[in-house]
Amino acid sequence: MTVTLTDFERAYLKSQPLARLATVDPNGAPQNNPVGVYLDEETGDIIIGGHAMGASRKFRNVQANDQVALVVDDLAARDPWTVRGLEIRGTAVALEDVDPPVSYMSREVIRITPAWVASWGVDPEAPGRQSRRS
């Protein structure tokens, strides 16, 4: 089952081209890397891409262990201190030979299906941290 992002979360995610993806290798060692992030509007899945994604450790990690976490956040203001962001946990699949969301990315991508989502500061009508799971 999947968690659907709210309209505010979708808008925030689409405004932020960079995120950090945490994966786990076959030996249980974590890895966390900056990645390009895109929202698949049709499915609600998150697409992770970059240059030569298929040769990356994160791509191999997802092939061995489909559990991932993704964080997208930024500092909206310093005074007053205002942070906002999303944390998305879910399952991922490493895909080859697909049309990437942008032309400069390789044809390998990681597709994340959200199972748990937390957001903070992205919805002006819901202050504080909000979370939900499938």
Tokens of 4: 């659907």
Which domain, by its residues, includes 32? 7-121
Q: Is residue 127 part of a domain?
A: no
Q: Which candidate, 46, 37, 90, places its Cα nearest to that of 68?
A: 90
Q: Is residue 74 part of a domain?
A: yes
Q: Is residue 133 part of a domain?
A: no
Q: Is residue 35 part of a domain?
A: yes
Q: Is residue 42 part of a domain?
A: yes
* Residue 40's CATH number: 2.30.110.10
Domain count, the chain: 1
Q: Is residue 91 part of a domain?
A: yes
Please give the Cα distance from 14 to 2 (Å, whole number).
19
Please give the Cα distance from 65 to 23 (Å, whole number).
8
Q: Is residue 126 part of a domain?
A: no
Residue 127's pLDDT is: 81
pLDDT tens digits for range 67-125: 999 999 999 899 998 899 999 999 999 999 998 888 888 999 999 999 999 999 999 88
pLDDT tens digits for range 47-71: 999 889 999 999 999 999 999 999 9
- Taking 80 as the threshold, does the pLDDT of residue 1 lie above it? no
HSE value, Cβ hemisphere, 13 Å, CA-based, for 106: 17
Please give the Cα distance from 11 to 74 (Å, whole number).
14
